[in-house]
Amino acid sequence: MAMVQEIRDHLCGTIIPFWKRLRDDEYGGYTGYMDFDLKTDKKAVKGCILNSRITWFFANAYMLLKDGSLLDEARHGYEFMRDYCMDKENGGIFWSMTYDGKPEDSTKHTYNQAFAIYALSSYYEASGDKEALDMAYSLFHIIEERCTDELGYKEAFNLRFEEVENDKLSENGVIAEKTMNTLLHVFEGYTELYRVDHNPEVKAKLEWMMDTFADHMYNPKLHRQEVFFDREYHTLIDLHSYGHDIETAWLIDRGVEVIDNPHYAEKMTPITKDLTAQIYKTAFDGHSLHNECECGVVNTSRIWWVQAETVVGFLNGYQMDPSKKEYLEAARSEWEYIKAHLIDSREGSEWFWEVDIEGNPTSKKPIVEPWKCPYHNGRMCIEVIRRAEKLDVEL
């Protein structure tokens, strides 16, 4: 059990203490920025996604480890979300706050609402606080009533939920009216909400989203998901996002398990197996995962979240098909790569954002900023520990 023990030690000895130190007891929430040189800016913007993800992380770490201090951290994040990040006049959650809790960017993004649902659902499970569940449902209804058109989920809105350009979730030179990424994380948030409360309305939306993944996002000829779309789901760019595909595979499998509908197991499992197999074949070099491939050109950067999702994705692939022992070895090899290159050994740090193909952090991106949080790497630790008990082999 060496890998599992190493991951548990890393979770308890590095990731949890690092994020505890960023707690802001004066203004609430968690400090939003630490540069590459480990200098913290206590007056930096506090992203609402960052604080949702930290809240989710501490709630789940508490449920795994039963350490009361972790529930206290989750409560601290939840109270910042409740008291500052939620728009009490117009509904929904803001994009970001100033360090002292004022709206810094009042954009309402569907993706952001979904992550708040994810956090609030987990916090409700950890704490039993019904107020958090009520907040999650308020955001569920916001998404369903104000963030959709006849075909699916729209993306970006202003303070009053009037549609605006989706510059926050568009990249690679395009502006997308619909994205795979937003649909994936609405699915993720709703999966957590349904898991903790089993509301049939939420289940129906999860089933609809799986149909949408299968019918619009998944490209069976290229064995991948498309990423950026116009309003009618026409793809905008030749892009294979390796990290999103391996993450999608296990999140869809989790959703199938949670809703427990044999029809969707039959429909979605071949897709998730195909995504996993294609990532193993085209993007994994035996140790780590390339970032993406745009118009045939591979981006070889090793991004922290992509590597974390690779561990979980290949471990999940092995659990779905134990004959695929190469996936188990890939998860082990990826963890060895993470230890050698992504984990920052400097005192007071956590993981590098990015390293190059040689494993060096040449870009010197921040250690903490609105997107860099314990959601991916902390979740990797939690998932490996939970899954290890169900494996027929030792990790």
Is residue 1 over pLDDT 70?
no
pLDDT tens track for 4-20: 999 999 999 999 999 99
Phi and psi of 128, rounded to 5°? 75, 10
Q: What is the DSSP string of 97-166?
A: E-TTS-EEE--EEHHHHHHHHHHHHHHHHHH--HHHHHHHHHHHHHHHHHSB-SSSB--EE-TTS-B---
298 DSSP β-pair partners: 293
Every domain of the chain and the residues it spans: 2-386
Both tokens of 120, joined, read: 């609030």
Phi and psi of 366, rounded to 5°? -60, 155
With 0-12 CB in 10 A as exposed, 13-18 as middle and 19+ as buried, what is 107?
Answer: buried
pLDDT tens track for 117-127: 999 999 999 99
- Segment holding 160, helix H or strand E: none
DSSP-derived 3-state class of residue 92: coil
pLDDT tens track for 199-232: 999 999 999 999 999 999 999 999 999 999 999 9
Counting Cα atoms < 13 Å in the Cβ hemisphere of 53 gives: 22
Give residue 395's pLDDT: 84
Give residue 231's pLDDT: 97
Q: 2-386 maps to which CATH number?
A: 1.50.10.10
Amino acid at 368: V
Please answer whether residues 139 and 110 qualify as being in contact, where contact means their C-beta atoms are separated by less than 8 angstroms: no
What is the C-alpha separation between 283 and 242, in angstroms, rounded?
Answer: 7
Amino acid at 72: D
Give residue 389's pLDDT: 85
- Segment holding 99, helix H or strand E: none
What is the C-alpha separation between 165 and 38, in angstroms, rounded?
Answer: 34
Give residue 368's pLDDT: 98
For 184: left if phi > 0, alpha if psi spans -120 to 50, otherwise beta; the answer is alpha
Of 2, 4, 10, 62, the residue nearest 385 (C-alpha): 4
- CA separation, residue 300 to residues 243, 277, 284, 353, 359 (Å): 12, 19, 11, 14, 11
Please answer whether residues 114 and 62 qualify as being in contact, where contact means their C-beta atoms are separated by less than 8 angstroms: no
With 0-12 CB in 10 A as exposed, 13-18 as middle and 19+ as buried, what is 338?
Answer: buried
Is residue 390 over pLDDT 90?
no
What is the C-alpha separation between 308 and 354, in angstroms, rounded?
Answer: 12
- CA separation, residue 225 to residues 156, 219, 232, 234, 237 (Å): 21, 6, 16, 12, 12
pLDDT tens track for 367-380: 999 999 999 999 99
pLDDT tens track for 106-164: 999 999 999 999 999 999 999 999 999 999 999 999 999 999 999 999 999 999 999 99
Interval 361-366 mean pLDDT? 96
Counting Cα atoms < 13 Å in the Cβ hemisphere of 178 gives: 24
